[in-house]
Amino acid sequence: MAGVKRVLVTGASGFLGRACVAALRARGFTVHGTGRGPQTIPEIVWHQADLLTEAGRAQVIAASRPSHLVHLAWEARPGLYRDSPDNPAWAAASLDLAARAAASGTVRLLGIGTCFEYGPFDGNCVEATSPCFPETAYGKAKLAASAGFAAVPGGAWGRVFFPFGPGEPAARLIPALIRSLLAGEAFPCSHGEQIRDFIYIDDLAAAITTLLDSDLTGMVNLGSGEPRRLRDIIGWFSHKLNSEHLVHFGARAVTGADAAPTITADMSRLHAELGFTAPIGWTLGAERTLAWWRRKFEEAQP
């Protein structure tokens, strides 16, 4: 895309939002961010707004006049987001935001969804052929938003698999594991035989930036393309922390999508069509993540 590149990032202060802001700035974008709270990222132009209201959406688009949009904002709190009654409202707001942005001259619109739009899961997820019959309110509403973004000229939709890295919400698997082990506490977990696609947060932000700055439209998986067993991921961290004895595989039952044997990403679109290669990768990403939590843990000691 030629000309001025001014991107509006919704949900910019979140786990993925912050990583995207850094990657977009590094690629030369002028970055505007929006969120419900006051500005916490000093390097960008901030618009405080509630995107669940029409007034909020209109104000943010009018104030930022973006050539590019990265739409991350959604209900995403661990434990709440899957069944939140706000999911349909976020789908509606997302479609309206996309329509408004397109009408005001935004040429490139990238919404961010989830692998949980797929299902029932039967192995590797492929954008053009895998079934999309999600079970959760979150999956259904994200699927609605995905189809809406795909219907807008210049619209693309990224489906994020399992991101991890510094700043990840503490209740999720890898942070919960590291925090337990650093504290010397037992970590009861599932059997761990599930195969998943984990992607380091800065690699994900790089993928999003590459996708945004391309002409690719429609659905695009955002993973690493490297399937891993949960048991191996958990084992990697517990080995680094000499804490294998604290991990109890099989101590927790799994239900719903957590029980699906395999949720992995076919990455042909990003890797083959766009030539994207992740700059960090699993091992360095895991080391940085561990170092970050170790530092947090040490800072918290009296």
137 binds its own copies (CB under 8 A): yes
**Contacting its own copies (CB under 8 A), which of 5, 140, 159, 269?**
140
Cα dist from 288 to 22, 35, 224, 236, whole Å: 17, 27, 17, 13
SS3 content of the chain, % helix, strand, coil (to 5): 40, 20, 40
87 contributes a contact to its own copies by CB under 8 A:
yes
DSSP class of 271: I
- 156 sits near its own copies (criterion: CB under 8 A): no
At residue 258, the 3 state secondary structure works out as helix
CB under 8 A: which stretch of 30-38, 39-47, 138-146, 167-175 binds its own copies?
Answer: 138-146
Residue 152 CB, nearest approach to its own copies (Å): 5
- Does position 144 interact with its own copies (CB under 8 A)? The reply is yes
Is the distance from CB of 61 to CB of 3 less than 8 angstroms? no
Among 107, 147, 176, 284, binds its own copies (CB under 8 A): 147
- Confirm or reject binding of residue 84 to its own copies (CB under 8 A): no
Q: How far is the CB of 297 from its own copies (least distance, A)?
A: 39
Cα–Cα dist 107/103, whole Å = 9
Residue span binding its own copies (CB under 8 A) among the ranges 6-14, 69-77, 80-88, 175-183: 80-88
Cis peptide before 120 (omega within 30 of 0): yes
Question: From CA 192, how far away is CA 176, in angstroms rounded?
Answer: 15
Residue 155 CB neighbour total at 10 angstroms: 22
Beta bridge partners of 111: 71, 157
* CB 68 within 8 Å of CB 6: yes
Query: Of 171-210, which residues contact its own copies (CB under 8 A)?
Result: none
**Alpha carbons 216 and 236: distance in angstroms, whole number:** 35
Could you tell me which residues are beta bridge partners of residue 110?
Answer: 70, 156
Residues contacting its own copies: total by CB under 8 A? 32
Region of 8-16, 145-153, 162-170, 272-280 interacting with its own copies (CB under 8 A)? 145-153
Phi, psi values for residue 65, rounded to 5° = 40, 65
CB of 16 or CB of 141, closer to its own copies: 141
Task: Find the part of the chain contacting its own copies (CB under 8 A) among 36-44, 129-137, 207-215, 240-248.
Answer: 129-137
State yes or no: residue 143 binds its own copies (CB under 8 A).
Answer: yes
Q: Which one of residues 62, 80, 133, 185 is an interface residue with its own copies (CB under 8 A)?
A: 133
Q: Which residues, numbered 90-119, are part of the site for its own copies (CB under 8 A)? A: 91-93, 95-96, 98-99, 102-103
Which of 2, 128, 253, 300 binds its own copies (CB under 8 A)? It is 128
148 in contact with its own copies (CB under 8 A): yes
Tokens of 18: 């912050």
- Distance, CA of 264 to chain centre: 15
Separation of alpha carbons 228 and 231, rounded Å: 8
User: Rule CB under 8 A: is residue 88 a binding residue for its own copies?
Assistant: yes
**Footprint of its own copies on this chain (CB under 8 A)?**
54, 85, 87-89, 91-93, 95-96, 98-99, 102-103, 128-129, 131-133, 137, 140-141, 143-148, 150-153
